[in-house]
Structure 1
C-alpha cells in the first residue's frame, strides 16, 4: 500500500486562475485554494527540485528505470567525493560525512569515504616538472660518470696465431690474436 501511495501524484495548493478586480491588503485577503498536481520534470532547477515535494516518477512512467529513486542530479547528492566534505561539520553520520535522509548516490562505492583517496598533493603540471627534473638529474649523473670512468687497468691477452692448432684447426673459433697475425690473415698470407 505504501508503494502505491508513493507512486500517486501528490497534490499541492495553488491559487485560482481567476484574478479579482480589486486587490485587498494581504491581511484582509481571503485565500481560496484548489489542488493541482505537480509532477517532476527535468526542466526544473536543482534548487526547485529539492524544495518541492513532487512525484519523482513523473506519473506512471519511470524513464530512468531506477525504482522511484531520487535523481542525484536534481537533489543535493551531487557527485562530490566525501573526502572533500568538511570533516568537522555537524554530520548525522560523521564517519561517512552524510546527513540523515540524504539520498545515496548510485556511485557511492566510488564517492564514499572508504573508496581510494583522490590524489591531490601535486597538480599534473608540477608532477611533470618533478619527473622531468628527476630524469635530467639521472641523465646528467650518467654523463658525468661516462666522462670520468677510468679505462681498464690491464690489456687483454693475445696469443700468436690465435692458438689455431691448439684449439682444433682453421675452422675452430680462435683465441685473441696479435695485431700482426690479424693483418696477415686479412692480407691472405696465412
Structure 2
C-alpha cells in the first residue's frame, strides 16, 4: 500500500493548544504517513455570504483535503460543554459543498481538555455533527485527556502511559479502517 494521507484537524486555532500536541502524538502513533494539517480559520457561516460570494476558497481547500485523505483525525477541546465554534463552523461550511467529502471517510475523534472530563461532551457533539456528513467514525475507547495541562511535557509529548496506550489503539484501528 502507498503511504497513507492523514488529515489532522484541530478544533482549536491556538498554536500551543493541547489538541495540537495530541495530534502530533497521534501522528507518531499512526506511523509513516503523509500528514496534512487543516486550517479552520474561516469566516462565520452566513447564507447571505454564501449566496453573494459562494463557498470560500479556504473551505474548498479543506473539502479537497478531506476527499484526498485516506483518513481524518480530529482533536478538539470542549468549550462550555460543547463543540468549539471553530470546528462547528468548519463542519457547517463543509456541509454546503457538493460531493459529501466525509462520506465513508475513516475518522477518529479525540480531545484534550483542561477540565476533569477531558472533553467528553464535546466529542459526543462532534460525532453527532459528523453523522449527517456520513463520516465513518472509527469506534473504540474514547480518548478524553483530562487536566491536559498536567499530561504533556515541556516539549508537547504525552506523558501518561494509559493515554498513550488508548491513542495507540485508536491509531491501530484507524490503520485497519484504511486497509
Structure having the higher Rg: 1
Which has a greater percent of strand? 2
TM score, norm. by length of structure 2: 0.23
TM score, norm. by length of structure 1: 0.22
Which has a greater percent of helix? 2
